[in-house]
Amino acid sequence: MKILFLDQSGKPGGAELCLIDIAKPYRDNCLVGLFADGDFRTLLEKNHIPVQVLSTKSIQVRKESSFAQGLASLGQLLPLLAKVVQTARKYDLIYANTQKALVVGAIASFLSDRPLVYHLHDILSPEHFSQTNRRIAVTVANRASLVIANSQASKTAFIEAGGRANITAVVYNGFDSKNYQIDESMIHQTRQELGQEGKFLVGHFSRLAPWKGQHILIEALRQCPQEVTAVLVGDALFGEQEYVQKLHQQIVTLGLENRVKFLGFRSDIPQLMSACDLIVHTSTAAEPFGRVIVEAMLCGKPVIAAKAGGAVELVEHGVNGFLVTPGESQELAQVISTCLQESSKTAKIASHARTTASQRFDVTNINQQIAELLAKLHQRVRQ
């Protein structure tokens, strides 16, 4: 089966990192078409996945866009659309991985007579998207032959927003657990590089964005014992510079300059996670899936996650990690302190999480689930 994958982003966010694993088995028979150039293209090339940047201009529709703004941006879409339609004719199926890719993919699917699959990585709820955005996404997604939701939470929100349940299946992100096995000498070296020996190092791994809640960790840190320090790994991928300034300001105001470090965007996540004592996830709005939660488990590290959305499907409190109320820094501080004090109990939970996560999110198994869904769809459209 020849697949044309479409993704609007040139930047490697979670949806894009997920797509790398999905496209890999099809690398001899697929193309990833991007609507913007960037590091994501380079990553695909490194993984020997054919990639082409189909547009040189990025499309200016934002989560909060109005209908009129949406229409105005159509002018930018036409040359891109023409290219996608022409390309799609050489493939059996269009697989849209983001919302703008969905809109372009749906029109191209109609014009090229190719079935459309939509991989839904978002929770289509009012806390994440404007009504216009949700309406467009759901109306267009309902024309797809198959919607793959990255969690039950994403599927439920899709259906609540008017999405068709009978075309929707849940498939979690897959991971190769080997990539998260880091040897002791490397862990020691990374820890030295971070200059955090003798500290209880908490890692936060996410793009810097208000809803990812880095400010909640900083606030919590103030209420933790002095030996607790933090690294914030990730960058503002979508222009959230104002939030970055606010975080720096918050650190100065609270006098935490010596206890928080920003590392920027990194591509050595398994090494860095393995060098931490604890990983926290602090999203203040429901997380659709939360790759970092699973990655922490695969590194054998205890993880505290914000109790909402997909995170609740990944973590069972006290069994394979810990859950805290989103936005509650005091509660977070308490659980961090408990992890510090009850280290052997916490280590047992992390070790159990590593074993179960490596089975539950095994990339070969997850890819098999996707292959089966696509095969069924292929059969259906050929009948």
Task: Give the integer Cα–Cα distance in Å for 117 and 374.
Answer: 9
Out of 10, 12, 13, 174, the residue judged to bind ligand GLC by CB under 6 A: 13
Stretch that binds ligand GLC, among 198-206, 212-220, 285-293, 318-326 (CB under 6 A): 285-293
- Strands, E, within 144-277: which ranges? 146-149, 168-170, 200-205, 228-233, 260-264
Q: How many CA atoms lie within 13 A of 286 on its CB side?
A: 22
Asked if 158 interacts with ligand GLC (CB under 6 A), we say: no
| Region from 12-20, 67-75, 86-94, 174-182 binding ligand GLC, contact rule CB under 6 A | 12-20
Sheet holding 322-324, edge to edge: 260-264, 228-233, 200-205, 278-280, 303-306, 322-324
x-or-dash pattern for ligand UDP, window 208-247, by CB under 6 A? -------------------------xx-------------
Rounded to the nearest angstrom, the gap between the alpha carbon of residue 133 and the centroid of all alpha carbons in its chain is 19
Contact call for residue 234 and ligand GLC (CB under 6 A): no
Q: Does 269 bind ligand UDP (CB under 6 A)?
A: yes
Q: Say if residue 101 is exposed, middle or buried (CB neighbours under 10 Å; 0-12, 13-18, 19+).
A: buried
291 binds ligand UDP (CB under 6 A): yes
CB of 290 to ligand UDP, least distance (A): 5
Q: Which residues contact 323 (CB under 8 A, 6 or more apart)?
A: 304, 305, 306, 307, 311, 312, 315, 317
The size of the interface with ligand UDP (CB under 6 A), counted in residues, is 18
For position 321 contacting ligand UDP by CB under 6 A, the verdict is: no
Question: For residues 48 and 216, what is the distance between their CA atoms, to the nearest angstrom?
Answer: 39
Q: Taking the mean position of all CA atoms in its chain, how far away is CA 262?
A: 20
Contacts to ligand UDP from residues 59-98, by CB under 6 A: none
- Of 270, 298, 272, the C-alpha closest to 361 is 298
Residue 326: both structure tokens together: 């989103």
Query: Binding string, 103-132, against ligand GLC, x = CB under 6 A?
Result: ------------------x-----------
For residue 253, the minimal CB distance to ligand UDP (Å) is 25
Residue 14 interacts with ligand GLC (CB under 6 A)?
A: yes
CA distances (Å), origin 228, targets 237, 243, 245, 340: 27, 23, 23, 9
Report the nearest approach of ligand UDP to the CB of residue 69 (Å). Answer: 24
Q: Which of 10, 290, 309, 321 binds ligand UDP (CB under 6 A)?
A: 290
Among 3, 10, 14, 34, binds ligand UDP (CB under 6 A): 14
Comparing CA positions, the residue from 160, 145, 173, 215 lying closest to residue 19 is: 173
Asked if 148 and 370 count as a contact pair (C-beta separation under 8 A), the reply is yes
Part of the chain binding ligand GLC (CB under 6 A), chosen from 11-19, 22-30, 261-269, 355-363: 11-19
Instruction: Tell me whether residue 94 or residue 292 sits nearer to ligand UDP (CB atom).
Output: 292
Which residues in this chain contact ligand UDP in the complex, by CB under 6 A?
A: 13-15, 17, 205-207, 233-234, 265-267, 269, 289-292, 295
Which residues in this chain contact ligand GLC in the complex, by CB under 6 A?
A: 13-15, 18, 121, 150, 173, 287-291
